Amino acid sequence: MAHLREFSLAEAIAVLTRTPTTVNALLRGLPNAWVRTNEGKDTWSAFDIIGHLIVGERTDWMPRVRIILENGEARPFDPFDRFAQVKESQGKSLEQLLDDFTRLRMENLAALQALNLQQEDLTRRGKHPALGVVTLAQLVATWAVHDLTHVHQLSRVMAHRYRDAVGPWSAYLGVLQCGGHSAP
Amino acid sequence: MAHLREFSLAEAIAVLTRTPTTVNALLRGLPNAWVRTNEGKDTWSAFDIIGHLIVGERTDWMPRVRIILENGEARPFDPFDRFAQVKESQGKSLEQLLDDFTRLRMENLAALQALNLQQEDLTRRGKHPALGVVTLAQLVATWAVHDLTHVHQLSRVMAHRYRDAVGPWSAYLGVLQCGGHSAP
C-alpha cells in the first residue's frame, strides 16, 4: 500500500501531541479582537475552531479507531457533526476550550498508545459513511492532517483582520492570498 | 486612514510575542522527516522557514522601523534577501534556529517597546523600494501578518507529506487544497 511508505504511527503521534501546545501558544491570552474575529458571515473564529477540535476528540477520532478494531467494515462510522461546537462552546471562555481540548487530546493519545497497535493493524479497514472503505493508518494520518488544516485556518482567520492594515504589502503576504479551503 | 481602524500596536505585539512559542510548540523535537520535508523542488521546509524568520529579525523589521523614524521617505528601505537563510542556516540544527529566532524576536520587541511610539507616530511614512510609500503602522501590521503567513506555510508544508497517507479523506482536508501562496 503506497500510503504506508510515508506513514508511521510514531510520527503521526509526534504531530498530534504538539497541537494542544501549538494552539495554546498561538491563542491563550490574546485580546478578544483576535479570538472572535472571523472571515465574514458563516465563517469560523479561532474560538469556533477550538470548539470544533474538541468535538473531534469527543466524537470522531478515537471512536472511529475503536469501530475499525471492533467492527471493521461491518459498521460504518457515525457521521461527524461539523456544527456541534456552536452549542457546546456556548458560555465558555477560550481558555476553558483550550483546557478541554488539551485534556481530551492527551486522554485520547494515551488510549491510542494503550492499544499497542502493530504494523499489521494499520491496514485494518473500516467504512466511512460517505468516502467508503478506509484504513486505520488513513484515519490516524487524517487526524494529524486535520490538526494542520485548522492551524492553517487559524493563521488565515487572524491574518484576515489585518488585510487592510498592511496596506500595499498585502501583495507579498501569502496568507492573504489564500481563498480558504477549510469552509465554513 | 482606514487601516488604522483595526490596527493597534498592543494587539500587533500580542501576535508577535506569541510566534516564537508557537513555532517552538509546533516543531521542537519533531522527527527530522517532518522538519526537512518540503513541497518539491525549490520549496521550503520548516527548517528553511525558521531560517527565513531569523533573517527578517536581523535585517528587515526593526531596521525598517528605525529608517522610518530617522529618515522618513528620504531613504528607501534596503531590499530584503529572501534566500539569505540558505547560507546562514547551514550546519545548524532546527533547535539552534528556534533558539536564535526566539532570542532575536524578544530583543526586537523590547527595542520596539523602548521606542514608546505614540498614536501619531504610527502614521509616519517610509519608502519601500518596490511598493512605494508605506506607514509605520503598515510595517508593524505586516510584521505580524508575515508571522501568520509562515505559520500557514508550516502547516501546509507538513501536511503535504501525508497527502497520500490520508487516502480518500484528502477531499475534506482544506490544507491539502491550498495551492501555496508563500512561494517559494
Give the per-residue pLDDT at B26. 98
- Residues B95-128 as b/e (b if ≥16 CB within 10 A, e otherwise) read eebbebbbebbeebbeebeeeebeeebbebebbb
Between chains, do B181 and A177 touch, taking CB under 8 Å as contact? yes
**Placement of cell 480558504 in the chain:** A180
Asked whether the beta carbons of B3 and A161 are under 8 A apart, the reply is no
Mean of pLDDT over chain B: 93
For residue A184, whether the previous peptide bond is cis, meaning omega lies within 30 degrees of 0, is: yes
Q: Is the pLDDT of residue A144 over 60?
A: yes
Q: Which pLDDT score is estimated for B1?
A: 47
Q: Does B7 score more than 50 pLDDT?
A: yes
d(CA B150, CA B131): 21
Q: What angle do CA B134, A153, B98 make, to 5 degrees?
A: 70
A182 or A126, which is more confident = A126
Nearest to B100 by CA among B141, B52, B60: B52
- Closest residue of chain A to B143, computed from CA coordinates: A166
Please tell me the distance from the alpha carbon of residue B30 to that of residue A149, in angstroms, as a whole number: 18
What average pLDDT score do residues B100-114 get? 98
Q: Which of residues 121-160 of B touch A (CB under 8 A)?
A: 128, 131-132, 134-135, 137-138, 141-142, 144-146, 148-149, 151-156, 158-159
Q: B8-64 pLDDT, tens per residue?
A: 999 999 999 999 999 999 999 999 999 999 999 999 999 999 999 999 999 999 999
**Contact status, residue A170 vs residue A163, Cβ threshold 8 Å:** yes
- Smallest Cβ–Cβ distance between A168 and the set B132, B153, B159 belongs to B132
* Chain B CB contacts of A24 below 8 Å: 25
pLDDT at B184: 42
The residue in chain A having the minimum alpha-carbon distance to the alpha carbon of residue B167 is A138
Neighbours of B70 (CB within 10 A): 10
Determine the pLDDT at residue A181: 59
Q: Report d(CA B47, CA B93) in Å as an integer.
A: 8
- Give the rounded percent of residues in chain A with a pLDDT score beyond 70: 95
Per DSSP, what are the bridge partners of residue B126?
B134
At residue A20, the pLDDT reads 98
Per cent of chain A over pLDDT 90 is: 85
B58, amino acid identity: R
* Predicted confidence band of residue B102 (pLDDT cuts 50, 70, 90): very high
Query: pTM for the whole thing?
Result: 0.95
CA dist., res. B146 & res. B140, Å (int)? 10
B75-94: average pLDDT: 89
Alpha carbons B137 and B135: distance in angstroms, whole number? 5
- pLDDT score at A178: 87
User: If you count them, how many residues does chain A have?
Assistant: 184
Whether residue B6 is predicted with pLDDT greater than 70 in this model: the reply is yes
Residue B143 pLDDT exceeds 50: yes
**pLDDT surpassing 90 at residue A21:** yes
Picking from A148, A155, A172, the nearest residue to B148 by CB comes out as A155
Average pLDDT of B125-129?
Answer: 97
Asked whether B181 and A177 are in contact (CB, 8 A), the reply is yes
Mean predicted confidence (pLDDT) in B63-86? 92
**How close A170 gets to chain B, by Cα (Å)?**
8
Average pLDDT over residues B144-157: 97
Instruction: Dump pLDDT digits (tens) for A30-65.
Output: 999 999 999 999 999 999 999 999 999 999 999 999
pLDDT at residue A45 in the model: 97
pLDDT at A5: 66
Rounded CA gap, A89 and A86, in Å? 6
Task: Give the model's pLDDT for residue A182.
Answer: 52
Helix, strand or coil, per DSSP, at residue A82: coil
Would you give the end-to-end CA distance of chain A in angstroms? Answer: 33
pLDDT band at B2; cut points 50, 70, 90? very low
Mean pLDDT of chain A: 93
